[in-house]
Structure 1
Amino acid sequence: MTVFSKSWLRPSASVRSVITLGALFMLAVQAMTGYEIWRQYSHNITLAERNINLLADVLASEINRSVMAVDAVVELTTAELSTTTHRPPAETRRVMRDRAIGIAQIFGLIVVDENGNTIASLHAPSSRHAAFIDAVMAAARESNLPFHIGNVVPAPFDGTPIIPFSRFRHDANGNVAGITIAAMSAQYFQELFLQVKSLPGARLTLARLDGRILAQTPEGTDVTLAGLPEFQPYARDNGLLYDHDAEAGRIVAFRTLRPYGLKLSVSIDSATLLTLWRSNALRLLLAAMFGSVVLAAMIALMLRNLARDEQRLSSLRESERRRRMAQFSLDHCADMVVWTNDQSRIVFANKALHDRLAYDDQSLLGKNVGDIDPNYPQEDWHHRMAELRKAGRLRVESSLRDSAGQLISAEVSVNLFHMDGQDYTCAIIRDTVERKQSEALLAERTRRLEASNAELEQFAYVASHDLREPLRMVSSFVGLLERQFGQDMSAEAREYVKFAREGAVRMDRLILDLLEYSRAGASGRPLAVVALSQVVANVHHNLSVALNEAQARLSLPAALPKVWGDEDELGRVLTNLISNALKYRHPDRVPEIELTVESHDDQVTCVIHDNGIGIAPQYFDRIFRIFQRLHGRERYEGTGIGLAICKKIVEHHGGRIWVSSAPDQGTTFFFTLKLATPS
């Protein structure tokens, strides 16, 4: 039999049929096993329901008959005492004895007057009669029923467990004239249960409607069943229920003897009921599992062979897919790729190489490497191969010759590949003509930019020096004018002279600040590892006089990290920010300035917080621009260039600076630096 088709490497129709039939057979076995288990379960449950219902009916009928007989004796005795008066106690006891003879469930009979005194009793009175009679009369009055059945109590004459049945006796006017009590033996119901019990594991219980147990077989530890569903107010008088609230579920058939306030229940434990079913189900499951395992082993053996062949097919398909993807990549990649054997012969060249060297497709195959690369002549190839075998990979700058004889600069990465006992080389070639042109152009632009920056820096220095000289002259001559002619000037003229002098001073300060801004971040010194602790210490020392004059409190962290930067420029940033906190302090509170540092990954965030006058959010971007002021010169002096210098220095260090503030709530400046060593 042909198991696999040679063309498609797939299972034949016969193997597919066997696998399908095997799977169907396994499903059929499982389904039949499941059906049989379910059938036996249903049969056991149905049989148990029928048996406990039948048992409950038989017991309910017998108990009802027995209670009716006792009730008849009590009722006749009560009626006769109510119609017959002045009968001697001995005669009354004889009549009571005659009525109780033949009714085995009656253990005693007592007739009591309205005061609780015994009129007649089948047993000799004892010291316990009075307490017994009082308890029964109190319970009967509380029940407010014409016929009352009490709890199991010891008999007053010999202590035997009895169930008192009582009925009130009334006179002609309807008043209570006494009570008749029949003592029914609790053992009677136990014997009755034992006589009719036929279900293994079944529990028979006779209880009052309030759940108090009167008789039970087998006896349990509970004295009341009031919590069970069949004793709830919403429960039906008769029925069958499944109780799953207990630890082990029950099937319960219950009957209510409504005229007498009694309830009979027949219950069976589900675990006990289903013991045989579980045993049979386990055997069926084991048999089904064994058959399934044998069949599964056979199918698994077939599937293993099938998987092995499918793996081979999948491997072939994957290899073909990768080959096609690699071929597509080689044919369409921008870099040039060429394969050669150990004799310098080209065995593969991609389309990019043919196009760049202006050769027809596949026309390079069979040529020597020296035909397209003068740096690799054939006579030196063995030496080149020995060098490549030693290094495994070479990367060189070379040049290629196109079909017209023009040389093209290129970067060549050569790798050694060994296959079928022969060495091959794979060269990936990248055209560097445009790159070298771009590098030359970039170098020229860089040279020009450096020259331009140097000229601008020299211009700024010279311009600031030359501009300041006329300003100093204007300021000097304005001063001379004021000293010589000050007495003869009018108030208006003196004010003009003052404006001229202040303008000259302000212009001089603007020129100095502009020069400082042009030099910020252009020191020419490379960034180095800087200890922030030393920078902060220097700033604190330089600003100590200003801090003392403002009575300001400056809080500094105990430890500070090291960062990449320029120590002088970082000191200028901290000095400007702390000076701003002093300058724009709130007039109604002592200045409090706090410096904190947060390290995260390779970055440090410096935070400077103050309790000054604050800044409105709409000005957050404006304050970092050059010559931008938020307040008039009459309130705060300055040119508005300090924060612009801070921004330029921080950005020169590769960080950023920003602010968070609200009017009258203080200001917080943040700026980031690169961490030099992990904190």
Structure 2
Amino acid sequence: MNRLLMPLLLGCWLLVSALLWVGWNQSVRSFETTSLQQMESHTHSLAEIQKTLVQLKLQEIERILVALETLAASTQMDRKQLEQAMRARKQPSPEILAFILLNHQGELQAFSLPELNPELSDRDYFVWHKDNPDSGRSYISPPLYSRSNDAVLFVAISRALHNQDGEFIGVLAAAIDLEQLASELGKLTEDGSHATVLSDLNGRIFFRMPWLPESTGLQSGVLASHVGELGSMHATRITSPFDGQSRQLSYGRIPDWPVVVYVSEDLSATELQIRTHRQIETQRALLALAFFSLLMGSLLLLLRRYQTNQVHLQQSEERFRLAQDAAQLGVWDLDLQSGELKWDNQIWKQLGYDKPAFPLSMQAWLDTIHPEDLPQVQQLLEASLRSRKPFLLEFRCQTASGQWQWQQGRGQVVSWDLQGHPLRLTGTSLNIHEYREAQQQLAERTEALQRSNADLEQFAYVVSHDLRQPLRMIRSYVELLEKRLQNQLDGDSRLFMHYITDGAARMDQMLVSLLEYSRIGRMGEPKALTPSRQLLDEALTFLQPEIQETQAEIICPEAWPDIYISRNEGIRLFQNLMGNAIKYRQPEQQPKIQIEITEQTNHWLFCIRDNGIGIAPDQQDRLFKVFQRLHARSEYEGTGIGLAICRRIVERHGGRIWVESAGANQGSAFCFTLAREEQPLA
């Protein structure tokens, strides 16, 4: 019933709402459409009239220019007579400021204002005809300021002059006072709500009426996007670029002229009427809707809440089921009074039993538990029932195939009788067999690793004591022989003695280095957040003799991060890298070392750059291997294990190390990364 009632009430409410909305929409749209159509028709008529007036005015000026062009071509008139004719033609047209005649070089040949003699060869109306002498049409210039009176704005309407051979010989132009022209042509729109704008096809404004001198000459993107097709009138609504008001706009192009006439009317009053009408109609519709809504609103709200709760409950159950399946988690329920047991399909899958063949009871379940685990399971269950606390069990359970499988059970009492006796126990079951096997393998591997570490420690002891002791004896006895037989040995014999002692010393040094390499990670301090600059400073303290001897220059950044590192290993890392940068240089060369630190997404990048001997690209892979040397011991001392130690320290802390070098004598850069966050030691 509820399922049918709620859609029915909602449908009735929607139907009434739709009818009210349709009535409201028709009334509002009809009023709005009628009002805007009336305004559009009005501005369209004004624009047609204005377009005709502008066209007639342009044709009138062009006829005057054609007449003057004929007079200018006559050889019987001198300049004075031609200027008199210009003034005569100008008299009935107050918008014409002057007539101008220029020769083909832009020199003034006649001017209706003879008292003036301006330079006009650079004017746009001359330059355009000079560049387009065969255009065959009149040209309207952009708005210009008069050079005799910079307060006067005008446009020039000009024509190119040609001789009988068709050669360009000059320009005849009429300077039109824009303010006067706007006053004459803008009488149709003198009231405050209308405006007339004249522009070229690119949106450059000739004038706006009511007169707005600062708009003259401006380039309007709004107008440029509303030019229209020749011979047609167009209408639209825009936001005025002049006063920011919403306006009804009608516009059209003038035939044979690159001129567009715009007539607009302020929409404020009409929009106010439309808004007022909309508000009245809205209030009527809302009152009717509110009256109807009160009749069913409360019931609809209650039903909707009920359905929402039902949906949420179903979604919650579905999420729980999906999560349970993904986790392979079984759910069981035990009636403690009857011993009846219920569990879901997940537990059937875990144990592999068939439903008809396996009796679901507490005793049947206990019979599947491994005899060694059963006492502990029963003890924990009884303790949980007494304490009313949840329990956690891990035990082996026999599956249908006869194999023993590790299970994890969780549960708690969820209901009691009036005397406080537990009635119902519910919980979950999880197959943890693979986890327990992995634990066993991990324990075995840990034990093997501990044995390996013990063997390694024993090896380190052998290296440090048992192997070094014979070397020290060899070295000592050779030195005694050398002293005893000092007077009996020739040069070759002494050299052979030196080879023996030197070889023993170098082998001892290599054993010490190998011992240090094996101790990395075992003898180091615990990993802690440490200022990296402090590690460098302590490393440089050990290197002071080499720094002073070579006068090494070390450039460090100002900011140093704190890093998670074993302190003594961090010092050894910087000491080895800085020591190499000082050692591997050309003789008599002052080491220059620069340290760079860069913050990356998950790491800090450290680079130690030097001006030393560099490294050939084909040798760089050998650098970080144990006992790998690129130079003879006679050139540079060392065991060839220092960079291997650096690599082991960096990799143990979750980073990597590499070298960059352009080649021999090009310097080197040893770079390594360390994690920004604490990482487990490798």
For normalisation by structure 2, the TM-score amounts to 0.58
Amino acid in the other structure paired with 1:228: F
Higher mean C-alpha deviation, range 608-617 or range 470-479: 470-479
Do 1:398 and 1:409's aligned partners in 2 also have CA atoms closer than 8 Å?
yes
Following the alignment from structure 1 to structure 2, what is the Cα–Cα distance between the partners of residues 460 and 267? 98
Aligned to 1:227: 206
Deviation at 1:583, TM superposition (A): 0.7
Deviation at 1:269, TM superposition (A): 6.8
Instruction: Provide closer, same or farther for how the CA distance between residues 603 and 364 of structure 1 changes in structure 2, counting only shifts above 3 A.
Output: farther
Following the alignment from structure 1 to structure 2, what is the Cα–Cα distance between the partners of residues 636 and 149? 106
For the pair 1:667 / 2:633, whether they are aligned, the reply is no
Do 1:647 and 1:657's aligned partners in 2 also have CA atoms closer than 8 Å?
yes
Do 1:654 and 1:674's aligned partners in 2 also have CA atoms closer than 8 Å?
no
Deviation at 1:576, TM superposition (A): 1.3
Instruction: Provide closer, same or farther for how the CA distance between residues 281 and 636 of structure 1 changes in structure 2, counting only shifts above 3 A.
Output: same
Aligned to 1:573: 573
Deviation at 1:643, TM superposition (A): 0.8
1:420-454 per-position Cα deviation (integer Å, ceiling 9, x unaligned) = 99975432344556544543443343233322332
Do 1:413 and 1:428's aligned partners in 2 also have CA atoms closer than 8 Å?
yes
Aligned to 2:180: 213
Do 2:27 and 2:281's aligned partners in 1 also have CA atoms closer than 8 Å?
no
Aligned to 1:509: 509
Aligned to 1:94: none
Following the alignment from structure 1 to structure 2, what is the Cα–Cα distance between the partners of residues 478 and 33? 118
Superposed counterparts of 1:469-484, under 5 Å? none
Following the alignment from structure 1 to structure 2, what is the Cα–Cα distance between the partners of residues 503 and 427? 74
For normalisation by structure 1, the TM-score amounts to 0.59
Do 1:614 and 1:665's aligned partners in 2 also have CA atoms closer than 8 Å?
yes
Aligned to 1:285: 278
Deviation at 1:606, TM superposition (A): 5.3
1:13-41 per-position Cα deviation (integer Å, ceiling 9, x unaligned) = x9747745752663354245323432343
Following the alignment from structure 2 to structure 1, what is the Cα–Cα distance between the partners of residues 251 and 342? 92
Amino acid in the other structure paired with 2:674: T
Do 2:407 and 2:432's aligned partners in 1 also have CA atoms closer than 8 Å?
yes
Deviation at 1:411, TM superposition (A): 3.9
Amino acid in the other structure paired with 2:669: T
Match of 1:148 among 78, 86, 90: 90
Instruction: Provide closer, same or farther for how the CA distance between residues 313 and 420 of structure 1 changes in structure 2, counting only shifts above 3 A.
Output: farther
Instruction: Provide closer, same or farther for how the CA distance between residues 385 and 632 of structure 1 changes in structure 2, counting only shifts above 3 A.
Output: same
Deviation at 1:580, TM superposition (A): 0.6
Higher mean C-alpha deviation, range 580-589 or range 297-306: 297-306
SS class of match (1:669): strand
Following the alignment from structure 1 to structure 2, what is the Cα–Cα distance between the partners of residues 629 and 525? 29
Superposed counterparts of 1:522-671, under 5 Å? 522-523=522-523, 526-527=526-527, 535-554=535-554, 565-587=565-587, 589-594=589-594, 607-616=607-616, 619-663=619-663, 664-671=666-673
SS class of match (2:572): helix
Following the alignment from structure 1 to structure 2, what is the Cα–Cα distance between the partners of residues 289 and 511? 97
1:589-616 per-position Cα deviation (integer Å, ceiling 9, x unaligned) = 4223355767889976655443333345
Do 2:251 and 2:263's aligned partners in 1 also have CA atoms closer than 8 Å?
no
For the pair 1:334 / 2:336, whether they are aligned, the reply is no
For the pair 1:367 / 2:334, whether they are aligned, the reply is no
1:272-292 per-position Cα deviation (integer Å, ceiling 9, x unaligned) = xx6775565345423442344
Do 2:334 and 2:424's aligned partners in 1 also have CA atoms closer than 8 Å?
yes
Do 1:468 and 1:508's aligned partners in 2 also have CA atoms closer than 8 Å?
yes
Following the alignment from structure 1 to structure 2, what is the Cα–Cα distance between the partners of residues 548 and 653? 32
Aligned to 1:81: none
If you compute each CA radius of gyration, which structure gives the higher value, 1 or 2? 1
The root-mean-square deviation of aligned C-alpha atoms, in Å, is: 6.0
Match of 2:392 among 353, 371, 395: 395
Amino acid in the other structure paired with 2:342: F
Do 2:392 and 2:408's aligned partners in 1 also have CA atoms closer than 8 Å?
yes
Do 1:532 and 1:563's aligned partners in 2 also have CA atoms closer than 8 Å?
yes
Superposed counterparts of 1:175-574, under 5 Å? 210-211=177-178, 213=180, 227-228=206-207, 246-247=242-243, 270-271=265-266, 277-278=270-271, 280-294=273-287, 297=290, 309=303, 312-323=306-317, 326-327=320-321, 330=324, 334-341=328-335, 343=337, 345-354=339-348, 359-361=353-355, 363=358, 365-367=360-362, 371=366, 374-375=374-375, 384-388=384-388, 391=389, 393-397=390-394, 410-415=407-412, 417=414, 424-431=424-431, 435-462=435-462, 465=465, 467-468=467-468, 503-523=503-523, 526-527=526-527, 535-554=535-554, 565-574=565-574
Following the alignment from structure 1 to structure 2, what is the Cα–Cα distance between the partners of residues 404 and 458? 48
Amino acid in the other structure paired with 1:590: Q
Following the alignment from structure 1 to structure 2, what is the Cα–Cα distance between the partners of residues 522 and 55? 98
Instruction: Provide closer, same or farther for how the CA distance between residues 304 and 639 of structure 1 changes in structure 2, counting only shifts above 3 A.
Output: farther
Instruction: Provide closer, same or farther for how the CA distance between residues 343 and 629 of structure 1 changes in structure 2, counting only shifts above 3 A.
Output: farther
Do 1:581 and 1:612's aligned partners in 2 also have CA atoms closer than 8 Å?
yes
Deviation at 1:544, TM superposition (A): 1.5
Aligned to 1:30: 25
Instruction: Provide closer, same or farther for how the CA distance between residues 523 and 381 of structure 1 changes in structure 2, counting only shifts above 3 A.
Output: closer
Following the alignment from structure 2 to structure 1, what is the Cα–Cα distance between the partners of residues 509 and 394? 57
Following the alignment from structure 2 to structure 1, what is the Cα–Cα distance between the partners of residues 396 and 595? 60
Following the alignment from structure 1 to structure 2, what is the Cα–Cα distance between the partners of residues 478 and 142? 132
Following the alignment from structure 1 to structure 2, what is the Cα–Cα distance between the partners of residues 307 and 538? 75
Instruction: Provide closer, same or farther for how the CA distance between residues 537 and 278 of structure 1 changes in structure 2, counting only shifts above 3 A.
Output: closer
Amino acid in the other structure paired with 1:290: Q
1:363-416 per-position Cα deviation (integer Å, ceiling 9, x unaligned) = 55453698467558999978633413xx4x343555657799998765433345
Following the alignment from structure 1 to structure 2, what is the Cα–Cα distance between the partners of residues 557 and 280? 71
Do 2:325 and 2:346's aligned partners in 1 also have CA atoms closer than 8 Å?
yes
Amino acid in the other structure paired with 1:669: C
1:173-231 per-position Cα deviation (integer Å, ceiling 9, x unaligned) = xxxxxxxxxxxxxxxxxxxxxxxxxxxxxxxxxxx953453977798999x99933799
Following the alignment from structure 1 to structure 2, what is the Cα–Cα distance between the partners of residues 569 and 454? 21
Do 2:510 and 2:639's aligned partners in 1 also have CA atoms closer than 8 Å?
yes
Amino acid in the other structure paired with 1:367: M
Following the alignment from structure 1 to structure 2, what is the Cα–Cα distance between the partners of residues 253 and 511? 98
Amino acid in the other structure paired with 2:549: E
SS class of match (1:453): helix
Give the paired residue count.
532
Higher mean C-alpha deviation, range 474-483 or range 423-432: 474-483
Gap runs ≥5 in structure 2: 57-79, 98-174, 199-204, 218-226, 255-260
Deviation at 1:349, TM superposition (A): 1.6
